[in-house]
Structure 1
Amino acid sequence: MAERVYPADSPPESGQFSGNFSSGEFPRKPVPPPSTYVIQVPKDQIYRIPPPENAHRLQYLSRKKSKRSTCRCCFCSILAAIFILIVLAGISLAVLYLIYRPEAPKYSVEGFTVSGINLTSSSPISPRFNVTVRSRNGNGKIGIYYEKGSTVDVYYNDVDLCNGALPVFYQPAKNVTFVKTALTGSKIQLTSGMRKEMRNEESKKTVPFKLKIKAPVKIKVGSVKTWTITVNVKCDVTVDKLTAPSRIVSRKCSHDVDLW
């Protein structure tokens, strides 16, 4: 009896797998076609080790990044130091203020005599003023040095009639000082309108003048002296006549300070 011959299974096509999953067999990896090569390269060689031709570029970028990071750190350190200094200075000033309780000196005009103003002639005048200024330092622990370079001027209707300076002196704490100064002017030409106005005001015994003082001072706190500070004093002074002795009818002073 002839035996039957069964045809053999055809080989699996590309992409198909053979095997019995139920029996624990797994599909085999596809065999690469002829003339195909598979090269496996470790990951650290791909991402961490640059090829030789790019090594110098990596070094340049690394140095540049390190330099930028160093500059950023230095800039942040400088800003932090400045901020700390500002905070410490503010705390120091607050402590000094609480300890010494500084207050501005007060000024007033106590004497103001006028001479040398002739209103009957059209010739230039050479006025003279003797001014006495009262300075009160009410601070308990602060002294004031009045330095050289001060100016004192007397104005009438914005015309500078005469000028002078304050003497150099030291005013201790809790002190009242009367400062006398002589002011002179030379060849001051007044308009006919000003002469007429001054004669009218003198007849009413109310001749107004403006006194302006600019004094450089240094403040003494304990044993420490500050930088030079400028005190500006402005006073409106009205007198009864333009001859000596004249009497002050009204006076009002204000002041401000230039710290720098």
Structure 2
Amino acid sequence: MSNHPKIHPLHDPEAPQTRPTAPLVPRGASRSEHGDPTKDPLSQRPQHFVPLPPPKKRRRSCCCRCVCYTLCLLLLFVVAVGATIGILYLVFKPKLPDYSIDRLQLTRFTLNQDSNLSTAFNVTITAKNPNEKIGIYYEDGSKITVWYMEAKLSDGSLPKFYQGHENTTVIYVEMTGQTKDASGLMTTLQEQQQTTGNIPLRIRVNQPVRVKFGKLKLFELRFLVRCGVFVDSLAANNVIKIQSSSCKFGLRL
């Protein structure tokens, strides 16, 4: 027999390389003497999960809530009052009243034996309401005082009345008073009259009023009037000559 040459298959480098679909190692061949690692008895134990508590919410204290509610109510009140005042101002166009001291009479000015000064004044005040649509109710509880420096000489009160639109009212007020230990005060008055030729007095008025806008009568306010008056002398039973006077008006809720 003739010897046939052996033919060995050659690997074609251009042939596509395919991966084996079957496992190189049969199933079960990788088991060790300890068993299948994929079936670990520890991994097969049932796991118990402990639920975490929900996060605690921060609770605001009752005091903080009360403060917040109070601030909100105050803010709403301020806004409402501001809006009301703005509307009234645009509709009625309010103007400040005007006051003047027209006449001042001293009916009693006596230094008693106990060094107490007894005084009595008659004051004439002119009050003007320049508003076309606003009336003023002058209520009870007013107070008018006459001062020299820091000493109160007399006090009294204004009458209760209603002042209509664009009205001018003349008010007559009687005041009386008594100042204790007034010997030094009398000496100062006489020296100032001889030196300057006048005596400065201060007249203050604290008057509760209610303002009427059309048919709407508002809550009670207070007019504060401060007048500076220079007179020639303080002679009893005589009309005092007013050399100059000026009044300032204020308003308080």
- Amino acid in the other structure paired with 2:187: K
1:210, distance to aligned residue in structure 2 (A): 1.0
- Under a length normalisation based on structure 1, what TM-score does the superposition of the two structures give? 0.69
**Which aligned pairs between 1:49-68 and structure 2 lie closer than 5 A?**
none
Larger radius of gyration: 2
Q: 1:89/1:127 Cα in 2 relative to 1: closer, same or farther (>3 Å)?
A: closer
Gaps of 5+ in 2: 1-16, 31-35
1:22 aligns with: 19
1:79 and 1:229 map into 2 onto residues whose CA distance is 25
Q: 1:128/1:99 Cα in 2 relative to 1: closer, same or farther (>3 Å)?
A: same
Contact preservation (8 Å) 2:121, 2:174: yes
2:218 aligns with: 226
Q: Deviations over 1:12-41 (max 9, x none)?
A: xxxxxxxx9724568989852565254599
Gaps of 5+ in 1: 1-19
Q: 1:246/1:145 Cα in 2 relative to 1: closer, same or farther (>3 Å)?
A: same
**Which aligned pairs between 1:206-217 and structure 2 lie closer than 5 A?**
206-217=198-209
Q: Deviations over 1:31-53 (max 9, x none)?
A: 52565254599xxx96xxx76xx
1:209 and 1:77 map into 2 onto residues whose CA distance is 50
- Under a length normalisation based on structure 2, what TM-score does the superposition of the two structures give? 0.70
2:69 and 2:148 map into 1 onto residues whose CA distance is 58
**Which aligned pairs between 1:189-200 and structure 2 lie closer than 5 A?**
189-192=181-184, 194-200=185-191
1:253 aligns with: 247
Contact preservation (8 Å) 1:116, 1:125: no
Higher strand share: 2
User: What root-mean-square deviation, in Å, do the aligned CA atoms of Structure 1 and Structure 2 show?
Assistant: 4.0
Q: Number of matched residues?
A: 223
2:115 and 2:69 map into 1 onto residues whose CA distance is 71
Higher helix share: 1
1:146 aligns with: 138
2:207 and 2:131 map into 1 onto residues whose CA distance is 19
* SS across alignment from 1:36: coil
- Amino acid in the other structure paired with 2:37: P
1:105, distance to aligned residue in structure 2 (A): 1.1
1:76 and 1:96 map into 2 onto residues whose CA distance is 30
Q: 1:79/1:186 Cα in 2 relative to 1: closer, same or farther (>3 Å)?
A: closer
- Amino acid in the other structure paired with 1:157: M
- Amino acid in the other structure paired with 2:186: R
167-176 or 202-211: bigger deviation: 202-211
1:191, distance to aligned residue in structure 2 (A): 2.5
Q: Deviations over 1:120-156 (max 9, x none)?
A: 9884331110011111111221111111111111111
1:3 aligns with: none
